[in-house]
Amino acid sequence: MESFKVLVVCTLLILFYFIPICNTLNSIDQGQSLKENETLVSEDGAFEAGFFNFGDSNRQYFGIWYKDISPRTIVWVANRDTPIENSSGVLNVTDGGNLVILAGTGPPIWSSNSTSRTAKKPFLQLLDTASLVVKDGRNSPQNLILWQSFDIPGDTFLPGMKLRANMASGNYTSLICWRDTQDPAMGLYAYRIDPHGYPQMVITKGGTLIYRVGSWNGNMLSGVPSESLYKTFNSSFELNDQEVSYGYEPFNKSIVSRYMVTTSGQIQRFILDQTKTWQLFFAGPVDQCDNYAFCGSNSNCDVSNSPQCDCLQGFAPKSQEKWSAQNWSGGCVRNVNLSCDSRDGFLKFSGMKIPDTSKSWYNRSMSLEDCKSFCLKNCSCTACANLDVRHSGSGCLLWFNDIVDVRKQTSGGQDLYIRVAASELDNNKGLSKKQLAGILVGCSLFIIVMVILGIVMHRKNKLKKSNMNQQISWKNHSIDKEKEDIDIPLYDLSTIAIATSHFSINKKLGEGGFGPVYKGTLTNGQEIAVKRLSHSSGQGTNEFINEVKLIANLQHRNLVKLLGCCIHGDERLLIYEFMPNRSLDCFIFDQAKRSLLHWDQRFQIIRGIARGLLYLHQDSRLRIIHRDLKTSNILLDQNMNSKISDFGLARTFGGDQVVGKTKRIVGTYGYISPEYAARGNFSVKSDVFSFGVIVLETISGHKNREYFDDNDLNLLGHAWRLWCEERPLELIDESVADSVAVAEPEVLRCIHIGLLCVQERPEDRPDMSAIVLMLNGEKPLARPREPAFYPHQFCSSTGNCAVNSANEISITLLDAR
């Protein structure tokens, strides 16, 4: 079999070499030309340039693509706006070194405009970097470059390429997206450097700024704080009086990667994996807070808050009415005008994406102190920050007038200093009601805890250690909050006991994977959910607090927020925000309530889970594998936004590595992947499996454990069977059928994604970043293979009809828990 394959490949290769359907060349000289079926190949064989068509369309283009990657990935197109409507295209290198594309007689349909009077022996070559270059003098030592395609990028940014902007003329090069995946004509979105003020990378739509990828702060671009990105790629941001440029290269030269602006205005970075498939490495914008000026001016956007927009401290909504109606466009204005002298001061905000720098001013050598005093000298100066955050900071960046497009970063943000009047520096004055309430709650908690601590200490010093180490603090809008690390409040057991009426059975919300959950109401009226952890992990107090802190630092709007914890002897309690709409299973599996969830809401719920899970897998500082994802762990807030709960607990109680093997199976029958059930192997892909089950359950309103037809098929099998029989829409819950009618493609996409997630082999399942793109319709979907736990009888392409009874395996192993 294997040798047969080799034989076929060899024969094909020989055919390609000896039959002149595809002539490949290394370079062409002046006066020579390339036409259909003739290509230019880079010396290392990685790239190929020539004429091509999309599918069976007539439109012919000249472009560059990866030679050995299928499907063909085009990285550059010459005549992107002027396709040839037949196959008559010819590329010529003229005597002057100009590159022209001709179609029949008449003027060229495209020209590089690189005619040089001095060119003696110009020739065209495709470099290993994928740059198409016209050089002069094949034998001359300099190999003078007359023209290169890297200077007029298409939609793809390749290693070694530079985006540039000229400080004097304002000229710039930009990546411009395609109009459509099959049409390389210039679309609306562009990715470029904005050279005004302190230069920043931006995405524009029809010329209007929509997303700031940000400026270079020494470590990273301020809008893309992804650590793994800068560990993998060496970015170069060079700035002098004439020009600013940005480029990147992977540190490991064997990594093949590309970076592009998509037809919908996203930037996406890909890395080629061993199977020669592109894996998404990064995509932005990431969330709503990335939308330019989402919250209006002088405000802060924070995805972990609800609502996400809040005025910066010292500012209040310009129109309270609009702000309350969640129309943020009006932004915020100062509570108190600046006095415009040295009495003004600065409030420090940590972990921020710095504001729009297009109207900023900078100086590389000033210290932060000089920077602040310089700012105070100009009445319109409103904020400052270090230019370079490395080595405890250097340089000075100043902003004037309104502060626009500030957000709280989930990681890697920097310090920003906002200028306010002296009276605003005093914390107690001019605080909004919300802040005041926060502080009051904080203070009363603090006092209660201190009093109780005092009593405990007074009674005896028996409790030897621990208490002194336990930090007691509370979350408020503290301006000097220690970067990123949130200290979690420790609640006293009596407080929680009172809040839950002594863990009354009437207050019990349910039984989660790690113990019962109770509803509680604190004395200030705040509603909470209390999880009483049943099996002690045998951890010490400090160890437990550290774990809980890690969980508390995972903040995303699709994750349930951990408010604090309580430790008392062996008792360990986690206090969460309360979710008024309970969990997803209470809706989709409930005869009465299922019709309340329309398709749009179900789709939003699925997308929310996907985003939350992506954050856990990849965007948070820790890589968290949930391991017990199920519909009862998907909670719904008052607006029916989905939030994942119980994350991080498997890590705390299971003992964990990123891809691990464990004897203790944490998971639930029906949601658990075959490799985890059978061998205890868990990975992000076992979560993807559970996610797929949730998607199919949400669409169908049936539990995976139910059986269908007379075939003993579970939901996965049922869905697969309908898919194979080309009637997938029959899977849909009848009670939402009406709302589905208008969204059929979306529903089909979801079913398709669900099936991709529940495939038998973990490596066949997409990862969450791919799933998020697929849900947005921004990534093509592969063909699913048959799902796990599926009796191989239908659609069998392999002829293997052995019945897989893995269902039972998961039961027995679960008993081992």
Is 31 a binding residue for ligand NAG by CB under 6 A? The answer is yes
The residue written with tokens 């047969």 in the block is 4
Q: Which residues contact 122 (CB under 8 A, 6 or more apart)?
A: 29, 30, 93, 95, 96, 97, 116, 134, 135, 136, 146
Q: Residue 797's CB: how many other CB atoms inside 10 A?
A: 8
Q: Return d(Cα 130, Cα 158) in angstroms, integer.
A: 8
Q: Is 808 in the site for ligand NAG (CB under 6 A)?
A: no
Nearest to ligand NAG by Cβ — which residue?
A: 104
Which residue shows structure tokens 């990335």? 290
Nearest distance from C-beta of residue 678 to ligand NAG, angstroms: 29
> Residue 361 interacts with ligand NAG (CB under 6 A)?
yes
Among 327, 373, 524, 546, binds ligand NAG (CB under 6 A): 327
Min dist. Cβ of residue 810 to ligand NAG (A): 34
- Residues in 705-724 at the binding interface with ligand NAG, rule: CB under 6 A: none
Nearer to ligand NAG, 234 or 264 (CB): 234
309-311: strand order across its sheet: 309-311, 299-301, 406-408, 345-353, 414-420, 381-385, 396-400, 361-363
Of 571-630, binders to ligand NAG (CB under 6 A) are none
CB of 531 to ligand NAG, least distance (A): 38
CA proximity to 599, closest of 700, 724, 527, 712: 700
Six-digit token pair at 670?
């029906």
The correct pick among 24, 25, 27, 36 for binding ligand NAG (CB under 6 A) is 36
Contacts (Cβ under 8 Å, ≥6 apart) of 738: none
Which region holds residue 145: left if phi is over 0, alpha if psi is between -120 and 50, else beta?
A: beta
* CB of residue 422 to ligand NAG, shortest distance in Å: 14
Among the listed ranges 184-192, 252-260, 429-437, 682-690, the one in contact with ligand NAG (CB under 6 A) is: 252-260
- With binding defined as CB under 6 A, does residue 322 bind ligand NAG? yes
Site residues for ligand NAG, 47-106, by CB under 6 A, read 84-86, 88, 90, 92, 94, 102-104, 106
Please choose, from the candidates 670, 601, 586, 702, the residue with its C-alpha nearest in 3D space to the C-alpha of residue 635.
586
Based on the shown chain and the rule CB under 6 A, indicate whether residue 172 belongs to the binding site for ligand NAG: no
Nearer to ligand NAG, 112 or 668 (CB): 112
Residue with smaller CB distance to ligand NAG, 95 or 480: 95
For residue 370, state whether it binds ligand NAG (rule: CB under 6 A). Answer: yes
Question: What phi and psi values does residue 381 have, to the nearest 5 degrees?
Answer: -75, 130
By CB atoms closer than 10 A (0-12, 13-18, 19+), residue 807 is middle
Number of residues near ligand NAG (by CB under 6 A): 43
- Alpha-carbon gap, residue 156 to 154, rounded angstroms: 6
Which is closer to ligand NAG, CB of 215 or CB of 335? 335
Please pick, from the candidates 32, 143, 182, 320, the single residue that binds ligand NAG as defined by CB under 6 A.
32
Q: Please state whether the peptide bond connecting residue 71 to the residue before it is cis, i.e. omega within 30 degrees of 0.
A: yes
What token pair was written down for 605? 């719920």
CB of 343 to ligand NAG, least distance (A): 15
CA–CA separation, 251 and 536 (whole Å): 44
Nearer to ligand NAG, 169 or 796 (CB): 169
Does residue 23 interact with ligand NAG by CB under 6 A? no
Q: Between residues 192 and 626, which has the closer beta carbon with respect to ligand NAG?
A: 192
Residue 531 makes CB contacts below 8 A (sequence gap 6+) with 512, 514, 515, 516, 517, 573, 574, 575, 576
Residues 686 and 392: their CA atoms lie apart, in Å, by: 41
Query: Which of 171, 277, 324, 524 contacts ligand NAG by CB under 6 A?
Result: 171
**Between 76 and 599, whose beta carbon lies closer to ligand NAG?**
76
Question: Least separation, in Å, of the C-beta of 140 and ligand NAG?
Answer: 23
- 481 touches ligand NAG (CB under 6 A): no
Minimum CB distance to ligand NAG smaller for 72 or for 535? 72
Binding pattern for the stretch 104-123 against ligand NAG, x by CB under 6 A and - elsewhere: x-x----xxx----------
- 628 annotated active-site: yes
Choice among 302, 487, 619, 628 that is catalytic: 628
> Should residue 152 be labelled a site residue for ligand NAG when binding is judged by CB under 6 A?
yes
List 130, 293, 332, 366, residue binding ligand NAG (CB under 6 A): 366
For β-strands 345-353 and 406-408, DSSP reports them as antiparallel
Q: Is 699 in contact with 775 (CB distance < 8 Å)?
A: no
Helix or strand run (H / E) with residue 502: none
- Does 29 bind ligand NAG (CB under 6 A)? Our answer is no
Q: Which amino acid is at 753?
A: I
Whether the CA torsion 713, 718, 724, 727 is positive or negative: it is positive
Which is nearer to ligand NAG, 107 or 525 (by Cβ)? 107
CA distance 282 to 569: 45
Cβ proximity to ligand NAG, 361 vs 707, nearer residue: 361
- Min. distance of Cβ 725 from ligand NAG in angstroms? 37
Question: Does a cis peptide bond (omega within 30 degrees of 0) precede residue 489?
Answer: no
Burial bucket for residue 422 (CB in 10 Å: 0-12, 13-18, 19+)? middle
Measured from the CB atom, is 365 or 506 closer to ligand NAG?
365
Q: Which stretch binds ligand NAG (CB under 6 A): 154-162, 323-331, 413-421, 585-593?
A: 323-331
Q: Is 252 in the site for ligand NAG (CB under 6 A)?
A: yes
C-beta of residue 516 within 8 angstroms of C-beta of residue 510: yes
Select from 181, 380, 657, 796 the one that contacts ligand NAG (CB under 6 A). Answer: 380
Q: Which of residues 385-424 bind ligand NAG (CB under 6 A)?
A: 400
Query: Which of the ranges 31-39, 555-563, 765-773, 787-795 carries the binding residues for ligand NAG, by CB under 6 A?
Result: 31-39
Please name which of 782, 783, 779 lies closest in space to residue 283, comparing C-alpha atoms: 779
Residues designated as active site: 628
Contact footprint for ligand NAG (CB under 6 A): 21, 31-33, 35-37, 84-86, 88, 90, 92, 94, 102-104, 106, 111-113, 152, 169, 171, 234, 236, 251-252, 254-255, 322, 327, 329-330, 337, 361, 363, 365-366, 370, 378, 380, 400
